[in-house]
C-alpha cells in the first residue's frame, strides 16, 4: 500500500471547478472563514437548519472528555425532521425514494407516503411494547421498508442496530445479544445475483439453540414479505410486516427527545475479535449528516436525483441513504441488488433511467467497472450526472481519473470523502465548486472540522510529514461511546493522545506541500476489503474455531480490485490430518469463515503451513506474512525466534 501511495505524491493534476458550477454551488468559499471565526456558532447555525421541538441554548459541553454533549438542552425528533416537516412545508408529493428491485420491479414513494408508513410502523412497535431506549435489530435487504424501519424506531425514541444482510447467524446473534434487542425486523429474503437470498432462516437460527444461562431478549420478529420464499413460522413470535402495518393507525405524533438521546448502535470491526457497538445520538448526528450531505453533494433538493449505492447495513447507508438525504428532503434512488445483475451495465442503466445527478460509491466498485472496460458505461447516456463521490478507502489516481472521464464525462467534480463509522459523517472532503480537486487526495477538513497529522506523541508533522490522522476538536456527529463498554471507548480512541485530547482515527496520513491530505490506510490490524472493515483477529478466531485448525494468522494483502484481500496462513492439527485427507482443506476453511462471519470475510487465499513466524516473545510477525502474500521478497527476519521459518513458508506457498 505505501509504495503505491508514494508514487501518487507526484500527482500534480488539479481540476478546478467550472465557473458555472462554482457560481451555483451550495457552498461558497466564505464558509471556511465563517467556520474558522467561531466554530461553535457555525455548528449552531447548521443545527438550526433542523426543526427543534425545544431550541437548544448550549452548543457544546466538553467538560468531561471524551464524553461530548452537543446541543444538550435542545429537544428534537429525528424522524419528524426526515419526514413530517417536509410534508408540512408542502413537499409531501415530492418523491423520497425511487426504488428499484433487482428483478426490475419499481416503487416510487413520496414523502407523504413514507411519513404515513413510518407513523403506522411506529404505532405497531409501540403496540408491541417497544419504547424509549429499547433496542431493535434490523436485518433487511435494500428495500424501502429498511429505511422506514430505521425511521420508525427513531421516531419513538428507541435505538436501532442495523445488521448487514450478508452477515451470518452467528454474527447476527452476537449483535442482537450485545445490544439486548427486544425486537427484530427482517424479510423472508431479498434478491441478489438473480435469486432470492433468504434472511428469515438466519434470524431463526440466530435466535435458536440458546445454551444454559443464555437469555433471549427478542420478543417479536416482524417479517417483510419480499421473495415469497418458504420460511418457518413461530406463531407466538413472528408477525407479517404487511399485516401489522396495514392494520395500524396512521396517526402518530412525534414526541420530543433530548438531543443526546441514543439513535443507533452500529457494529464495526476493531483490532480485537469482538465487534464494537458504535453509539450515535440524535441532534448532533443529524446536524452533521444533513450539513455534510448538503454541502459535499451540493444538494439542490428540487432538481437533484441523488444515489448512494451503500447498503443500509453500513454507516454510509445510515448517514447518506437514510438520515442525511431525508433530513434534506432529497429525492434518491435506492437499488436492491448487485451491479452485474442481470447484466454488467445495470448501474448505468439506472442512472440513465432515473436521470441520476449525483452518484456516491466506493473505489472498489469503480475498479471492478474499470476492469470490465469503458465499453459498457459508454452504451448509456450518463449526461445527467453532475457530481461524483467516493468513500470507503483511498481511491488511486487511475481509478479517480477513469471515474471522472468515463462516468463523469470529464466534467463532473469528484468528492473523495474520508470518514468512519465512529465519526458518523464526512470529515474530510473537497467542497465541489470551491476546491480544485486532486486525484487520490481527500484534501481538506470540512468547515467546522479540525484535523491534524501527528507523530506517536501527538506532535504535528507539518507539510510533507507522514504520521497519524488525529481529530483535534470534538464534532457534532462523533460517536458517544461503545455500547456497554466505556473503557474500551477511551482506550481505543482517546488514550493514544490523552495529553492533547485528540481523537485517534487509526489511519496513517500525510499532508502534501499544498496542505492537502493523503490517507495512507489503517495503522492497526483492521483490514479494508472492498471498503468494508474487517479485523484480522476476528477472522483468526473464526479459523481456529474449526476443528482442523491449530493456529491461524490473517493479513490484509493489497488487491487490485478490492483494495485489500484477506489472506490466511493456517496450521492444521496433526490429529485432524490423521483422520482426514488434506485435499480441499483450504477451500473448506474459506467456506467456514464465510459461514461464521459472512461472505465478505471469506479469505481470498488460505495457505496451509507448518509453522508461523513468531518473535521470541511469541508474537506473530504479520508484516512478514504480508510480504509473502503480496509476492514480495521477505523483509527483515532477524527478530524471529526461528529465522528459517520464512523460507519454509515461502516454499509452501509457492
User: Which parts of this chain interact with ligand WTA (CB under 6 A)?
Assistant: 268, 314-316, 391-394, 416-421, 442, 505-507, 519, 522, 528, 533
| Contact between residue 613 and residue 629 where contact means Cβ atoms under 8 Å apart | no
Nearest CA to 161 out of 130, 198, 123, 204 is that of 130
Give the position of cell 419499481.
Answer: 106
Are residues 328 and 285 in contact, defined by beta-carbon separation less than 8 angstroms? Answer: no
Residue 416, marked binder = yes
User: Is 94 annotated for ligand binding?
Assistant: no
Residue 557 pairs with which residues in a beta bridge?
565
State which residue, 189 or 476, has the beta carbon closest to ligand WTA: 476
Residue 507 known to bind ligand: yes
Is 518 annotated as contributing to ligand binding?
no
- How many DSSP H helices and E strands does the chain contain? 24, 30
Residue 515 is labelled as binding a ligand:
no
Smallest gap from Cβ 394 to ligand WTA, in A, equals 4
Instruction: Say which residues have a Cβ less than 8 Å from residue 290's Cβ, sequence separation at least 6.
Output: 46, 49, 50, 81, 323, 324, 327, 328
175 membership: H or E segment, kind and range: helix 169-179
Residue 69 marked as a ligand binder = no
- Toward ligand WTA, which CB reaches closer, 352 or 358? 358
> What is the smallest separation between the CB atom of 208 and ligand WTA, expressed in angstroms?
30
Shortest spacing between CB 280 and ligand WTA, in angstroms: 12
Supply the minimum distance, in Å, between the C-beta of residue 341 and ligand WTA: 24
Strand duo 526-529 + 517-522: pairing: unpaired
Strands (E), 323-366: 332-335, 358-361
Number of residues written out for the chain: 654
User: For ligand WTA, which is the closer residue by CB, 354 or 503?
Assistant: 503
* Cα–Cα distance, 186 to 140 (Å, whole number): 5
CB 92 within 8 A of CB 110: yes
Whether the CB-CB separation of 332 and 356 falls below 8 Å is answered with no
417 annotated as belonging to a binding site for a ligand: yes
Residue 193 assigned ligand-binding role:
yes
CB of 295 vs ligand WTA, minimal distance in Å:
16
Residue 613 CB, shortest distance to ligand WTA, in Å, is 26
Q: Indicate the residue among 95 and 263 with the shorter CB distance to ligand WTA.
A: 263
Q: CB 557 → ligand WTA: shortest distance, Å?
A: 16
377 annotated to bind ligand: no
The rounded distance, in Å, linking the Cα atoms of 593 and 104 is 32
Which residues make Cβ contacts (< 8 Å) with residue 45, sequence separation at least 6? Answer: none
* Residue 393 annotated in ligand binding: yes
Report, in Å, the least distance between residue 50 CB and ligand WTA: 22
418 is in an annotated binding site: yes
Look at residues 477, 598, 493, 603 and name the one whose alpha carbon lies nearest to residue 540: 603
Give the residue with the Cβ less far from ligand WTA, 74 or 481: 481
Instruction: Give the orientation angle of helix 30-37 with respect to helix 39-47, to 10 degrees.
Output: 110
Alpha helices in 231-323 (DSSP H): 241-247, 283-296, 315-317
When the beta carbons of 357 and 420 are compared against ligand WTA, the nearer one is 420
Nine cell digits for residue 549: 485448525
Is 602 annotated as belonging to a binding site? no
| Closest to ligand WTA by CB, 56 or 320 | 320
Closer to ligand WTA by Cβ: residue 316 or 357: 316
- Least distance (Å) between residue 271 CB and ligand WTA: 12
Question: Is position 419 annotated in a ligand binding site?
Answer: yes
Query: Quick one: cell of 362?
Result: 466506493
Q: Which is nearer to ligand WTA, 241 or 483 (CB)?
A: 483
Looking at the Cβ atoms of 158 and 449, the one nearer to ligand WTA is: 449
Q: Which residue has the cell 425514541?
A: 157
Residue 522 annotated as binding site = yes
Instruction: Cell numbers for 449, please give them.
Output: 472540522
279: alpha, beta or left? (left if phi > 0; alpha if psi -120 to 50): beta
Residue with cell 468494508: 532
Nearest CA among 416, 421, 299, 417 for reference residue 358: 299
Q: How far is the CB of 526 from ligand WTA (least distance, A)?
A: 7
Q: How far apart are the first and last CA of the chain?
A: 22
Instruction: Output the smallest distance, CB 522 to ligand WTA, in A.
Output: 5
Q: Looking at beta carbons only, is 360 or 592 nearer to ligand WTA?
A: 360
Locate 137 and state its grid cell: 435489530
Which residues does the annotation place in the binding site?
192-195, 316, 392-394, 416-421, 507, 522, 530, 533, 544, 546
Which residues does the annotation place in the binding site for Mg(2+)?
544, 546
Which residues does the annotation place in the binding site for CoA?
192-195, 316, 530
Which residues does the annotation place in the binding site for ATP?
392-394, 416-421, 507, 522, 533
Amino acid at each position: 500500500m505505501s509504495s503505491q501511495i508514494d508514487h501518487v505524491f507526484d500527482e500534480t493534476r488539479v481540476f478546478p471547478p467550472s465557473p458555472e458550477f462554482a457560481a451555483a454551488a451550495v457552498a461558497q468559499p466564505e464558509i471556511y472563514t465563517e467556520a474558522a471565526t467561531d466554530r461553535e456558532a457555525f455548528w449552531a447555525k447548521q443545527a438550526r437548519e433542523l426543526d427543534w421541538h425545544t431550541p437548544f441554548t448550549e452548543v457544546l459541553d466538553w467538560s468531561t472528555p471524551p464524553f461530548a454533549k452537543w446541543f444538550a438542552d435542545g429537544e428534537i425528533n429525528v424522524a419528524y425532521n426526515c419526514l413530517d416537516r417536509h410534508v408540512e412545508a408542502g413537499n409531501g408529493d415530492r418523491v423520497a425514494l425511487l426504488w428499484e428491485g433487482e428483478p426490475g420491479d419499481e416503487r416510487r414513494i413520496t414523502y407523504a407516503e413514507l411519513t404515513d408508513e413510518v407513523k403506522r410502523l411506529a404505532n405497531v412497535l409501540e403496540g408491541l411494547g417497544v419504547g424509549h431506549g429499547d433496542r431493535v435489530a434490523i436485518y433487511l435487504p435494500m428495500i424501502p421498508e429498511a429505511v422506514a424501519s430505521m425511521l420508525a424506531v427513531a421516531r419513538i425514541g428507541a435505538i436501532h442496530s442495523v445488521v448487514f444482510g450478508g452477515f451470518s447467524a452467528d454474527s447476527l446473534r452476537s449483535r442482537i445479544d450485545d445490544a439486548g434487542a427486544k425486537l427484530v425486523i427482517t424479510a423472508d429474503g431479498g434478491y441478489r445475483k438473480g435469486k432470492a437470498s433468504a434472511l428469515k432462516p438466519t434470524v431463526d437460527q440466530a435466535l435458536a439453540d440458546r445454551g444454559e444461562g443464555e437469555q433471549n431478549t427478542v420478543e417479536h420478529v416482524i417479517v417483510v414479505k419480499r421473495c415469497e420464499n418458504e420460511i418457518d413460522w413461530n406463531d407466538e413470535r413472528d408477525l407479517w410486516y404487511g399485516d401489522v402495518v396495514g392494520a395500524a393507525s396512521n396517526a402518530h405524533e412525534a414526541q420530543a427527545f433530548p438531543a443526546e438521546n441514543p439513535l443507533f448502535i452500529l457494529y464495526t470491526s476493531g483490532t480485537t475479535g469482538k465487534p464494537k457497538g458504535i453509539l450515535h445520538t440524535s441532534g448532533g448526528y443529524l446536524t452533521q449528516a444533513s450539513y455534510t450531505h448538503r454541502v459535499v453533494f451540493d444538494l439542490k433538493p428540487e432538481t437533484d436525483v441523488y444515489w448512494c449505492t451503500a447498503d443500509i447495513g453500513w454507516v454510509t447507508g445510515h448517514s447518506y441513504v437514510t438520515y442525511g438525504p431525508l433530513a434534506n428532503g432529497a429525492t434518491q434512488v435506492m437499488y436492491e441488488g448487485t451491479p452485474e445483475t442481470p447484466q454488467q451495465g445495470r448501474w448505468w442503466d439506472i442512472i440513465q433511467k432515473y436521470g441520476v445527478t449525483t452518484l456516491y460509491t466506493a473505489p472498489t466498485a469503480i475498479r471492478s467497472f474499470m476492469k470490465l472496460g469503458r465499453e459498457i458505461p459508454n452504451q448509456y447516456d450518463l449526461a445527467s450526472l453532475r457530481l461524483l463521490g467516493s468513500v470507503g478507502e483511498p481511491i488511486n489516481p487511475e481509478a479517480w481519473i477513469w471515474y471522472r472521464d468515463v462516468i463523469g464525462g470529464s466534467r463532473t467534480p469528484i468528492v473523495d470523502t474520508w470518514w468512519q463509522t465512529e465519526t458518523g459523517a464526512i470529515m474530510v472532503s473537497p467542497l465541489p465548486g470551491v476546491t480544485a480537486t486532486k486525484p487520490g487526495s481527500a484534501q481538506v477538513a470540512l468547515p467546522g472540522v479540525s484535523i491534524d497529522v501527528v507523530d506517536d506523541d501527538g506532535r504535528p508533522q507539518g507539510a510533507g510529514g507522514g504520521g497519524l490522522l488525529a481529530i483535534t476538536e470534538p464534532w457534532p456527529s462523533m460517536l458517544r461511546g461503545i455500547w456497554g463498554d466505556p473503557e474500551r471507548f477511551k482506550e481505543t480512541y482517546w488514550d493514544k493522545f490523552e495529553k492533547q485530547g485528540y481523537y485517534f482515527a487509526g489511519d496513517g496520513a500525510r499532508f502534501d506541500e499544498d496542505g492537502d491530505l493523503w490517507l495512507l490506510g489503517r495503522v492497526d490490524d483492521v483490514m479494508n476489503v472492498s471498503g468494508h472493515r474487517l479485523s484480522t483477529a476476528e477472522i483468526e478466531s473464526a479459523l481456529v474455531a474449526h476443528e482442523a485448525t491449530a493456529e491461524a494468522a490473517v493479513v490484509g494483502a493489497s488487491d487490485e480490485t478490492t483494495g485489500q484481500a484477506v489472506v490466511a496462513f493456517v496450521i492444521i492439527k496433526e490429529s485432524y490430518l490423521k483422520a482426514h485427507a488434506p485435499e480441499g482443506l483450504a477451500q473448506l476453511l474459506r467456506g467456514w469463515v464465510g459461514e461464521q462471519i459472512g461472505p465478505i470475510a471469506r479469505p481470498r487465499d488460505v495457505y496451509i503451513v507448518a509453522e508461523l513466524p513468531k518473535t521470541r516473545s511469541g508474537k506473530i510477525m504479520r508484516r512478514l506474512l504480508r510480504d509473502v502474500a503480496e509476492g514480495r521478497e521477505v523483509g527483515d527476519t532477524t527478530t524471529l525466534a526461528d529465522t528459517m521459518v520464512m523460507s519454509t513458508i515461502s516454499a509452501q506457498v509457492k
